[in-house]
Amino acid sequence: MSAPTTKRTVTEREAREVAEAAREQDWRKPSFAKELFLGRFRLDLIHPHPLPADEEAQRGEEFLAKLRDFCETKIDSARIEREAQIPDEVVDGLKELGALGMKIDTKYGGLGLTQVYYNKALALAGSASPAIGALLSAHQSIGVPQPLKLFGTQEQKETFLPRCARTDISAFLLTEPDVGSDPARLATSAVPDGDDYILDGVKLWTTNGVVADLLVVMARVPKSEGHPGGITAFVVEAGSEGVTVENRNAFMGLRGLENGVTRFHQVRVPAANRIGPEGAGLKIALTTLNTGRLSLPAMCAGAGKWCLKIAREWSAAREQWGKPVAFHEAVGSKISFIAATTFALEAVLDLSSQMADENRNDIRIEAALAKLYGSEMAWLMADELVQIRGGRGFETAASLAARGERAVPAEQILRDLRINRIFEGSTEIMHLLIAREAVDAHLAVAGDLIDPEKPLADKARAGADAGRFYAKWLPKLVAGPGQLPTSYGEFKREVDLSPHLRYVERHARKLARATFYGISRWQGRMETKQGFLGRMVDIGAELFAMSAACVRAELLRSQGDHGREAYQLADAFCRQARIRVDELFRRLWDNTDDLDRTVVKGVLGGVYEWLEQGIVDPSGEGPWIADATPGPSQKENVHRPIR
């Protein structure tokens, strides 16, 4: 049984159709963020702030106490950084603690934690070592447990979940050497053979893949009689014959990450290990990521807390020109940014997580915004911390310790956080993904109207539907409660947050109007205006974060838990965010996008090649993209399961 050896080539339209088919098509539940992009500020969907049940909170807090003790006594972050590996005894300890099964139901041997407490645990473990946070997240958020929880059969759950809860590490394998965010070109094949499938192909950047016992593998099943085919998800035993981990990859950060290249050659997988029907693989992957993406902002929020702690302690101890550096305005503004943004990131995370637990709302946009916003803002906070620390921020913790100073790994957190802007959907891809969901209502009524390949009859019907929709929708964008000075009065305390919520309401309508103008102006070319779409999404992210920060501040006030200080932080964050939003709105229409495209054509055409003269290129030789032709492995298997 031989596998295809030719590289898949697809047109832009084919790639778009594959991605579109994998989307969840319907909105069965309300979505705060979706409504926000449509100009409707549905504060009632998030306020009062939802809370976990007392029993769930108690169980979660008990586990957090055990995990904190383990992190403080058993995890040596400096050793992980130095040896570029998480010690086996640490992984074994996490297994004994039940950390592999935080999200797995108790009936399968897991802890059954809520999304809220799972994320709190990831933030805690990630602060001790980002590599450990990544291991736990990849195992549970996108590895075997989550897709089986959502799509697995009862037999699959009973077979695999007890293993994942206590002993077996899992990994998720989608990316290939020549396939990133364009899954239409996925080349790994799964050819039916009796009651089995035969897997052939190569997977790249397999987080946990080097040490995994179980793999979720996305592979293409060819269409044949009795087989609808398409990209399909499988659970694969990592120790199966024909599975070879050919390389353990090394990165600028997350040095303890067990990430590799995995080759499949004639790997036999039982049909019973297929998750869902043939062709459902991408839908399973995207649905899994709807809540799985919340793991990254959890660790970003934890990183913000650490940045704030170090900034506070260092800026109080370090004096320049007769006073602590914190009281110099240039440094103080950075500390204020870190404090306010950390408060907002935790607000976004907790709100999104609790909504995921309650399952009342569709949070696909909220989770994506949390991932996008958390990864971008955490990177900025870490960069500001390095700047506050000055030369010591650029110096490694080991070097600081060697000369007798506190071993603060500021430069390491900057390196470790950088991947979050790429992991599980790069910022650029997240912009497009969120923008697609944000304009879904428009495409539902006017999609055929702007599709150049649709016949005139379809366009006529779409035109009539669009006319009815916009006749009702557009007038509602003219005025709203954001223009009334008494609106949202329940947020008016010693510090008044009501003006910020009125700002969100007004600017949600303004964003919806801008989206409509963009669609009217560019129509079918709207999807190529990635600069416009990215700014549109960034505005929505800021408005969502402002809303979450205000709602969280009111929750803390009502609980008597640092309410006054929470209002101060929410006020500071909203004022900072409003400056960013105003600038983003200006740049929707005043930008260099057209000129940038001209320059790019010149760069790729060699017009500016003279600008590259006067340097030497230290890059090694070799192809830009490694050969991934199916076949037997020619390399040593570096797979090392931890037992």
SS3 (DSSP) at 243: strand
- Contacts of residue 513, defined as CB under 8 A and 6 or more positions apart, other chains included, come to 39, 477
Q: Where residue 22 falls among pLDDT bands split at 50, 70, 90?
A: low
pLDDT (average), residues 503-512: 97
SS3 of 116-149: the string is: HHHHHHHHHHHHHCHHHHHHHHHHHHHCCHHHHH
**Signed CA dihedral, 153, 209, 278, 226: sign only:** negative
**Rounded alpha-carbon distances, angstroms, from residue 284 to 22, 101, 147, 436, 546:** 8, 20, 7, 18, 31
Residue 2 above 50 pLDDT? no
pLDDT for the residue numbered 3: 45
- Residue 265, φ and ψ in degrees, nearest 5: -130, 110
**What average pLDDT does the segment 522-542 reach?**
92
pLDDT over threshold 70, residue 20: no
Beta pairing partners, 308 = none
Of residues 117, 145, 558, the one with CA closest to residue 349: 117
Task: Name 451's Cβ contacts closer than 8 Å, sequence gap at least 6.
Answer: 524
Strands (E) located in 228-278: 230-237, 243-248, 259-270, 274-275
Say how far apart CA 90 and CA 64 lie, in whole Å.
17
Residue 81 has pLDDT above 60, yes or no: yes
DSSP string covering 179-211, please? Answer: BSS-GGG---EEEEETTEEEEEEEEEEEETTTT
Cα–Cα distance measured from residue 564 to residue 98, given in angstroms and rounded to the nearest whole number: 37
Please give the C-alpha separations between residue 68 and each of 73, 110, 384, 390, 505, in angstroms, as whole numbers.
Answer: 9, 19, 27, 30, 40
pLDDT given for residue 425 in this prediction: 86
Q: Taking all residues of the chain, what is their mean pLDDT, rounded to a whole number? A: 93
- 3-state SS class at 262: strand
Q: What phi and psi values does residue 264 have, to the nearest 5 degrees?
A: -110, 125
Determine how β-strand 189-193 pairs with β-strand 196-207.
Answer: antiparallel
pLDDT at 325: 87
- pLDDT score for 15: 64
235 bridge partner residues: 216
Q: What is the per-residue pLDDT for 444? A: 79
Angle (CA) 631-636-640 rounded to 5° is: 115
For the segment 316-336, the average pLDDT, to the nearest whole number, is: 91
Using CA atoms, how far residue 590 sits from 13, 306, 600, in Å, is 30, 37, 19
Set 424, 437, 505, 542: catalytic member:
424
Reduced to 3 states, what is the DSSP secondary structure of residue 234?
strand
| 612-623: average pLDDT | 95
> Would the pLDDT of 341 be above 60?
yes
Among the residue ranges 22-26, 501-505, 514-518, the one predicted with the least confidence is 22-26
Residue 500 identity (one-letter amino acid): H
378 pLDDT above the threshold of 80: yes
Least confident of 23-27, 57-61, 79-83, 361-365: 23-27
Q: What is the mean pLDDT of residues 286-309?
A: 92
Give the residue-averaged pLDDT of 6-10.
61
Encoded tokens for 5 = 């050896």
Which of 144-153, 441-450, 522-531 is predicted least confidently?
441-450
How large is the average pLDDT for residues 402-426?
Answer: 95
3 state SS of 246: strand
Average pLDDT of the residues in 287-313:
93
Terminal CA-CA length for the chain: 34
- Residue 424 is among the residues annotated as catalytic for this protein: yes
Residues of the chain with pLDDT > 70: what percent? 95
The string over 257-284, giving b where at least 16 C-beta atoms fall within 10 Å of a residue's C-beta and e elsewhere, is: bbbbbbbbbbbbbeeebbbbebbbbbbb
List, for residues 225-280, the tens digit of each pLDDT value.
Answer: 999 999 999 999 999 999 999 999 999 999 999 999 999 999 999 999 999 999 99
Task: Evaluate if residue 446 carries a pLDDT over 80.
Answer: no
Strands 319-320 and 243-248 come out as unpaired
pLDDT at 5: 43
